[in-house]
């Protein structure tokens, strides 16, 4: 090869994957490589910019440990995580809309009776809230035996796993519906909170003129036999940042009235084929 073009160079790189034993890995890598090459060409990346990017990636990696995954935070703040949920959770019209899972879910939260509270550690700023409604099947009736895995940040803006002052599993609970499909969760009104900005992902947000806040929300994973699981939030309609969620998770249908200590919301699940 001599004086080859960028297109010829790309073709050569892609051709090296012909013998890849894992065809899905090869497909993913070839698509990623094509987009990386197109990116370099479209912005006319200088060697100094490329090197700055290499350094930034290493810095992000060095911020990752058992408790902190800075690449996930970056993926969240660039809308990539939400896009992955959109295409993986895409549901039928009329079902509850999905949103991001987030990094703060914990397996094995306490099973609770309908009407129980998820508040273990009361805080001065707590404003009591009951979230209630029905879990139903799209085009069908109420679902018995549906599970609602619920979690949220405490009134100080931190999840239990971020905050050693909280009792483990504070603000978490797993509820199972009875024959009427109804659910009732006692909690406190959620608060908006910032995602961590003490690492490279936060530095990038601020360097590009963005804030690092999420609007107030409660997380739900709702699942039932014979139905698609939905991972979602309910957002407080009076929260700040509904129009600028740093991780792009807000959907109109998930914004609900939480005034007067009560929030009504019905979940609709899609039957599996």
Q: Is residue 198 involved in binding a copy of itself (CB under 8 A)?
A: no
From residue 52 to residue 81, the character string flagging contacts with a copy of itself as x (rule: CB under 8 A) and all else as - is --x--xxxxxx-x----xxxx--x--xxxx
Instruction: Output 82 or 268, the one with its CB closest to a copy of itself.
Output: 82
**Pairing relationship of beta strands 217-223 and 147-151 according to DSSP bridges:** antiparallel
Residues 28-47 as x/- pattern, contact with a copy of itself by CB under 8 A: xx-xxx-xxxxxxxxxxxxx
Which residues from 121-180 bind a copy of itself, rule CB under 8 A? none
CB closer to a copy of itself out of 87 and 179: 87
Which of residues 57 and 122 has its CB atom nearest to a copy of itself in the complex?
57
Nearest distance from C-beta of residue 164 to a copy of itself, angstroms: 24
Of 124 and 252, which CB lies nearer to a copy of itself in the complex structure? Answer: 252
3-state secondary structure the chain: CCCCCHHHHHHHHHHCCCCCCCHHHHHHHHHHHHHHHHHHHHHCCCHHHHHHHHHHHHHHHHCCECCECHHHHHHHHCCHHHHHHHHHHCCCCCCCCCCCCCCCCCCCCCEECCCCECCCCCCCCCCEEEEEEEEEECCCCECCCCEEEEECCCCCCCCHHHCCCCCCCCCEEEEECCCCCEEEEEEECCCCEECCCCCHHHHHHHHCCCCCEECCEEEEEEECCCECCEEEEEEECCCCCCCCCCCCCCCHHHEECCHHHEEECCEEECECC
**Cβ distance 146 to 80 under 8 Å?**
no
How many CB atoms within 10 Å of residue 160? Answer: 22
Kindly report the number of other CB atoms within 10 A of residue 241's CB atom.
Answer: 18
CB of 114 to a copy of itself, least distance (A): 29
Question: For residues 242 and 235, is the Cβ–Cβ distance under 8 A?
Answer: yes
Q: Which of residues 211-240 bind a copy of itself (CB under 8 A)?
A: none
Q: How many residues bind a copy of itself (CB under 8 A)?
A: 77
User: Which of 126, 193, 209, 227 lies at the binding interface for a copy of itself (CB under 8 A)?
Assistant: 209
Of residues 243 through 272, those in contact with a copy of itself by CB under 8 A are 244, 248, 250-253
Q: Which of residues 99-128 bind a copy of itself (CB under 8 A)?
A: 101
Residue closer to a copy of itself, measured from CB, 77 or 136: 77
Of 30 and 121, CB closest to a copy of itself: 30
In the complex with a copy of itself, the residue whose CB is nearer, 101 or 175, is: 101
Q: Nearer to a copy of itself by C-beta: 17 or 104?
A: 17
21 binds a copy of itself (CB under 8 A): yes
210 is a site residue for a copy of itself (CB under 8 A): yes
Q: C-beta of 167: minimal distance to a copy of itself in Å?
A: 28
Does residue 7 touch a copy of itself according to CB under 8 A? no
């Amino acid at each position: 090869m001599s004086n080859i073009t960028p297109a010829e160079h790309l073709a050569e790189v892609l051709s090296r994957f012909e013998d890849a034993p894992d065809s899905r890995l090869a497909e993913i890598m070839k698509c990623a490589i094509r987009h990386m090459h197109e990116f370099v060409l479209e912005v006319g990346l200088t060697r100094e910019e490329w090197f700055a990017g290499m350094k930034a990636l290493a810095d992000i990696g060095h911020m990752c440990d058992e408790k902190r995954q800075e690449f996930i935070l970056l993926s969240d703040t660039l809308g990539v995580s939400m896009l992955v949920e959109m295409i993986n959770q895409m549901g039928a019209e009329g079902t509850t809309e999905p949103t991001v899972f987030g990094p703060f879910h914990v397996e094995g939260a306490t099973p609770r009776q309908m009407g129980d509270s998820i508040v273990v550690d009361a805080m001065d700023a707590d404003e009591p809230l009951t979230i209630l409604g029905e879990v139903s099947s799209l085009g069908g009736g109420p679902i018995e035996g549906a599970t609602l895995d619920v979690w949220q940040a405490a009134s100080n803006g931190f999840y239990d796993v971020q905050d050693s002052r909280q009792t483990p599993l504070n603000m978490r609970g797993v509820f199972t519906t009875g024959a009427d499909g109804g659910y009732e969760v006692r909690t406190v009104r959620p608060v908006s909170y910032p995602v961590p900005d003490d690492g490279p992902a936060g530095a990038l947000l601020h360097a590009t003129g963005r804030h690092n806040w999420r609007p107030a929300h409660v997380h739900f994973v709702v699942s039932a036999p014979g139905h698609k699981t939905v991972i979602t939030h309910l957002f407080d309609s009076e929260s700040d940042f509904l129009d600028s969620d740093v991780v792009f998770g807000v959907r109109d249908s998930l914004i609900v009235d939480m005034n007067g200590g009560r929030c009504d919301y019905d979940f609709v699940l899609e039957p599996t084929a």
